[in-house]
Amino acid sequence: MTNFTANDFDMPHSKTWCPGCGHFMVHKILREVIAEMEMAPDKIVFVSGIGQAAKLPQYIKGHMFNGLHGRSLPAAMAIKASNPQLEVIVNSGDGCLYGEGGNHFLAQIERNSDITVFAHNNMIYGLTKGQGSPTSPKGLVTPVQIDGVTNEPFNPLTVAIAMGATFVARVFPGNSEQTKKVFKKAIEHKGFALVDIFVQCVSMNKTNTFKWYKENTYELEGDHNQGDKIAAFTKALENDPYPTGIFFQENQKATFEENCAAYKNGDQPLYERNLDMKKLKKLIESRRA
């Protein structure tokens, strides 16, 4: 039944990404991972916002909710909460998730909504042609930041850890083996899983190139304790070079859906349920007293 290959998850449409764009690598690895995990397209909803990264769901077989710029996370949260039987996977960009969508990033972590977030972090606004993003390094010159970016770069990992996110990871797809492993664990994780992905934007960011990412990342040591928040935070502060891997994971915390009264007796999707007319009658009657 679920014997799909990575290619089966490809869509026939031509991709509008630039040749060499890092989003291709995520597209490939993600398809491989879900194929290996024996997932089926009709059990997954791919959610995104707007941006080059956010086009990914257009090119992968599954249900798709390609929403507004910055708003992928509320959409994903609501889809999961309306039908917990669906696997909900978000792919979007650094601008979308950490810029316009910053408040939703915080709020969905607070909920521990059971969704997986793949954040394509190319440290630039790709689709709108190269303005600084929240993760752009200081000094990066762009058409808006003409004398270089001056904002403190947003560190998605430290913030997610600070927020109490239950799965926090970073990968560099140049290290495809680790990337695959982390993707799998993120999808398997029950609760909010963040994977920040270092991808190159070959057209708009000439600083943070594939080569740069390669030279500036290293795998987290094997003895890193993923249950230790302070160790995770300490590692997440490192940036010369940047560690990759799973920084933090916690499995006990209930998810948003688990906390919903509606799912106390099972995860039957909302659409299958019907209004209990007797209860409604009773509720109305209660107002006669």
Partner 1 sequence: MKDISIVIAGEAGQGVQTVEEILVGVLKISGYHICATKEYESRVRGGSNSTQIRVSDHQITAFVDRIDLLIPFNVDAYNHSKNRLSSSSKLITDPANEIDITELEKSQIIEVKLQEIAKEIGNPIYANTIIAGIIIGLFSADKEAAGKLLDSKFNKKGESVVNSNIEAFNSGFAIGEKITGSGDFKHDLTPDKNVKNDILVNGAQAVGLGAIAGGCNFISAYPMSPSTAVLQFLATNSNDFEIIIDQAEDEIAALNKTVAAWYAGARALASTSGGGFALMTEALSLAGIMESPAVLHIAQRPGPATGLPTRTAQEDLNLVLYAGHGEFQRIIFAPGTTEQAFYLTQKAFNIADQYQIPVFVLTDQDFVDRYNNIPELDITEIKIEKHYVKTEADYQRFKLTDNGLSPRGIPGYGTGLVRVDSDEHDEQGHITEDMDYIRPEMVKKRFHKRFELIEKIAELPTWYGPKSPKLAIICWGSTLPAIQEAVDNSNREDIAIIHFHQLYPLPANIKEFIEKNNPEKMISIEANASGQLANLLKVYADISIPKESLHLRYSGKPFSVEDITEIIEQEAK
Residue 96 binds what, of Mg ion, ligand TPP, ligand SF4, none (CB under 5 to 8 Å, by partner type)? ligand TPP
Q: Which two tokens stand for residue 121?
A: 């972090």
At closest approach, how far in Å is the CB of 124 from ligand TPP?
Answer: 6
Q: In this chain, which of 30, 77, 161, 165 binds partner 1, going by CB under 8 A?
A: 77
At closest approach, how far in Å is the CB of 254 from ligand SF4?
Answer: 29
User: Quick check: 229 binds a copy of itself (CB under 8 A)?
Assistant: yes
- The DSSP output letter for 254 is P
Residues 173-212 that bind ligand TPP (CB under 6 A): 201
Show Cβ contacts of residue 165 under 8 Å, excluding neighbours closer than 6 positions. Answer: 109, 112, 192, 193, 194, 248
Residues 32-51 that bind ligand TPP (CB under 6 A): 50-51
Distance in angstroms (rounded) separating the CA atoms of residues 22 and 231: 29
User: Quick check: 275 binds partner 1 (CB under 8 A)?
Assistant: yes
User: Quick check: 5 binds partner 1 (CB under 8 A)?
Assistant: no
User: Quick check: 6 binds ligand SF4 (CB under 6 A)?
Assistant: no
Residues 88-107 that bind Mg ion (CB under 5 A): 93-95
Show Cβ contacts of residue 185 under 8 Å, excluding neighbours closer than 6 positions. Answer: 167, 169, 193, 246, 249
Contact of 146 with 153, CB cutoff 8 Å? no
User: Quick check: 135 binds ligand SF4 (CB under 6 A)?
Assistant: no
Show Cβ contacts of residue 262 under 8 Å, excluding neighbours closer than 6 positions. Answer: 270
User: Quick check: 140 binds ligand TPP (CB under 6 A)?
Assistant: no
Residue 209 binds what, of a copy of itself, ligand TPP, ligand SF4, none (CB under 5 to 8 Å, by partner type)? none
- Closest to Mg ion by CB, 51 vs 62, is 51
Which residues are registered as beta bridge partners of 93?
120
Q: In this chain, which of 90, 91, 116, 132 binds partner 1, going by CB under 8 A?
A: 132
Contact of 92 with 84, CB cutoff 8 Å? no
Q: In this chain, which of 201, 232, 236, 246 binds ligand SF4, going by CB under 6 A?
A: 201
Segment interacting with partner 1, rule: CB under 8 A, options 165-173, 218-226, 233-241, 270-278: 270-278
User: Quick check: 112 binds a copy of itself (CB under 8 A)?
Assistant: yes
Greatest distance between any 2 Cα atoms in the chain: 74
Distances (CA, A) of 120 to 27, 145, 252: 11, 21, 27
Size of the site for a copy of itself (CB under 8 A): 34
Q: In this chain, which of 63, 180, 190, 206 binds partner 1, going by CB under 8 A?
A: 63
Contact of 122 with 53, CB cutoff 8 Å? yes
- The DSSP output letter for 145 is S
At closest approach, how far in Å is the CB of 267 from Mg ion?
Answer: 34
Omega cis (within 30) before 241 = yes
At closest approach, how far in Å is the CB of 107 from a copy of itself?
Answer: 7
| Pairing, β 44-48 against β 63-66 | parallel
Distances (CA, A) of 246 to 37, 102, 178, 222, 223: 19, 22, 10, 10, 12
Q: What are phi and psi of 69, to 5 degrees?
A: -55, 125
For ligand SF4, the binding residues (CB under 6 A) are 17-18, 21, 23, 52, 122, 126-127, 201-204
